[in-house]
Chains A and B, each alone.
Chain A
Amino acid sequence: MSGKTFVEKALARAAGVSEASAGDILDVRPDLIFSHDNSAAIRRIFEKIGAKNIARPDRVAITLDHAVPAPTTQHAQNHAEIREWIKQQSIQHFFEVGRGICHQVISEEALILPGETILGADSHSTHFGWLGAFGAGVGRTEMAALWATGELWLRVPEAMRVTLTGRLQSGVTAKDISLRILGDMGVEGGLYRSVEFAGDTLSTLSLDERPILPNVMAEFGAKNAYMPPDDMVFNYLEARRTRDYTPLYPDPDAHYEIEYALDVSQLEPQIALPHQPDNVVRLSDAIGEPVQQAFIGTCTNGRLEDLQAAADVLRGHQVACRLVVIPASSQVLLEATRSGIIETLLMAGATIATPGCGPCMGNHMGIPAPNEATVSSANRNFKGRMGTPEAPVYLASPYVVAASAICGAIADPREFLS
């Protein structure tokens, strides 16, 4: 009888049962459920169901982030319907236009804690693995059901262990690790699995870098992802949290269906070519490909260190193509303003937009024209993702995006870092 994986322990806890194993179907009661601009559509489904009130309004969060400030009357109407719903249902955690991207804001507000379970109406809900939480995405109808009943069925997934060893070189980041994993294993490499990270690299990653790994695992097909929380995480949460928690760790003899290991000490910067996130090559194989737009932001790479990385590369240089920078939250924007990062970016010719998802999924604030290439710090480059199928998208770290903005073509940031 082998030990338990993280996901077996976390879902047993969320379902209130003593133990669970991969394959079990459980009714779980998440500690937090959240949605964003899709909340008006979820409200319409909720009303169709026939429920009167949200079962646990103190455990519901809604963030306006996908198209903010509203770019059209239709988007504004959508936001208005959500604000009305917030009041009507006494939803406790509501974050207005400009506060930031759901995953970043919920992390900053410490609304979810290690060992807890969070379900979001957003595919990148795997993000919360950085806190040692179970995070998974659900569809709109499921979110309506969660509002109505406070619970949802989940199958306990099989698990895969990703062991990272060594320390990253300067100019190489967790984004490059995540792209390498996708390149090695493909976008279906983690399909329907709990991707549980291990290894000595993890403790060397900063708080801003950690979310990148579980966030990008959404592109890996993962149900959830997990990083073992350590003192750095506990200290971060201490000043912010409003309830106690018990972190969960997999047993040493837990069963993993697949093992993947990577020594990151020799890793070079990576880049995903159009049109799939696993179409990954070494950056050196893509140098010189022309780009007309560069974009730094999103739930993957819009934190303070990401903006700092861009500033480190851009200081004393001018961009040769459009550079759109969108901080992941108002807190990131405030800190980047106070520390002079925003000034450095503006001096280099960047434009700064309201915290939110921006052009990532083609809504607004940086939609490319047909045949214009974008290099982006986001997590998806599917055909049409940024609004038009004729606009190719490259995915890379903020370092690479900033260097490429200077050159108007894919470039190596290490040439600009002293």
Chain B
Amino acid sequence: MSSHRCWVYGDNVNTDVIFPGKYTYTLKTPEEIAAHALEDLDSTFAANVRRGDVIVAGQNWGCGSSREQGVTAPKYAGVDIIIAASFSRIYFRNCINQGVLPIVCPGLNTLVQTGDAIEIDITNGQIHAAGQTFTFPRLSPSVQAILDAGGLVPMLQRRFAGESQP
């Protein structure tokens, strides 16, 4: 069980406002990318987010462009868990591959407000918030394995390191 401060957003938030397209080929370092997280959605986010904070969003979070900075920008800014009523499919995959836990939990974003604290119990698949308990579905074993490895890159690093050894 861990406690997290929430940043709460609505439905159909797209990756153009999470990380503007004009930066995608020029900003490279985690610090540069984190500085523009959610820039056109919430101008207070990048300056005030703290490690361990979570995003709590509505339906179809992360729709639009496939750009991976949609996940890495909040991740580099300190967000390791993103909760949404539903995710766009590429965004969901990008979360797994970056080692960010995507939790599907419909309705939570209408019950909590930015700044509220919620409790997340990953082992038992539960969220305690607004005086209620929510359960969230487990990931399939093959997908969980990527997350457990810390993301797709660390998982493949192990695979290729193994292949290069005699």
Interface residues of A (CB under 8 A from B): 25, 37-38, 41, 45, 48-51, 66-67, 72, 74-75, 78, 121-123, 137-142, 144-145, 148-149, 153, 155, 186-188, 191-192, 219, 221, 223, 276, 361-363, 380, 382-385, 387, 389
Contact = CB atoms under 8 A, between A and B. Distances in A.
B16 A380 contact: yes
27 contacts: A25-B142, A38-B24, A50-B164, A123-B65, A137-B66, A139-B66, A140-B68, A141-B151, A142-B94, A144-B153, A145-B97, A145-B156, A186-B12, A187-B12, A188-B11, A188-B12, A188-B59, A191-B60, A219-B63, A276-B12, A361-B21, A361-B65, A380-B64, A383-B16, A384-B16, A387-B20, A389-B40
A45 B65 contact: no
A67 B23 CA distance: 12
Interface in B69-102: 71, 86, 88-90, 93-94, 97-98
A78 B25 contact: yes
A382 B64 contact: yes
B26 interface: yes
Contacts of A186: 12
Interface residues of B, number: 42
Top 4 A-B pairs, shortest CB-CB distance: A361-B21, A50-B160, A384-B40, A123-B66
B156 A383 contact: no
Contacts of B14: 276, 380, 382
Contacts of A221: 60, 63, 88-89
A138 B90 contact: yes
The winner among B65, B66, B68, B151 for most chain A CB atoms within 10 A is B66
B152 A67 contact: no
B149 interface: no
Contacts of A188: 11-12, 59-60, 63, 86
Contact of A75 (B12, B25, B71, B89): B25
A141 B60 contact: no
A122 B66 contact: yes
Interface of B: 11-12, 14, 16-17, 20-22, 24-26, 28, 39-40, 59-60, 63-68, 71, 86, 88-90, 93-94, 97-98, 140, 142-143, 151-153, 156-157, 160-161, 164
B156 A149 contact: yes
B157 A187 contact: no
A173 B65 CA distance: 24
Given A141-B153, A149-B156, A37 B25 contact: yes
A384 B14 CA distance: 10
A51 B156 contact: yes
Contacts of A51: 156, 160
Nearest to A37: B25
Nearest to A224: B89
Contact of B21 (A78, A141, A363): A363
Nearest to B12: A187
Nearest to A78: B25
The winner among A37, A51, A123 for most chain B CB atoms within 10 A is A123
B89 A141 contact: no
Nearest to A36: B25
A50 B159 CA distance: 9
The winner among B25, B39, B161 for most chain A CB atoms within 10 A is B25
Contact of B152 (A50, A66, A141, A362): A141
Contacts of A49: 153, 156-157, 160
A361 B12 contact: no
A149 B153 CA distance: 12
A155 B71 CA distance: 20
A191 B64 contact: no
A155 B92 CA distance: 12
B89 to A, nearest CB: 5
A363 B25 CA distance: 9
Contact of A363 (B17, B22, B68, B98): B22
B157 A362 contact: no
Contact of B17 (A72, A155, A383): A383
Given A139-B90, A141-B97, A363-B21, A123 B59 contact: no
A223 B89 CA distance: 7
A66 B22 CA distance: 10
A283 B66 CA distance: 30
Nearest to A360: B21
A162 to B, nearest CB: 18
A271 to B, nearest CB: 19
A173 to B, nearest CB: 23
Contacts of A37: 25
Contacts of B66: 121-123, 137-139
A280 to B, nearest CB: 14
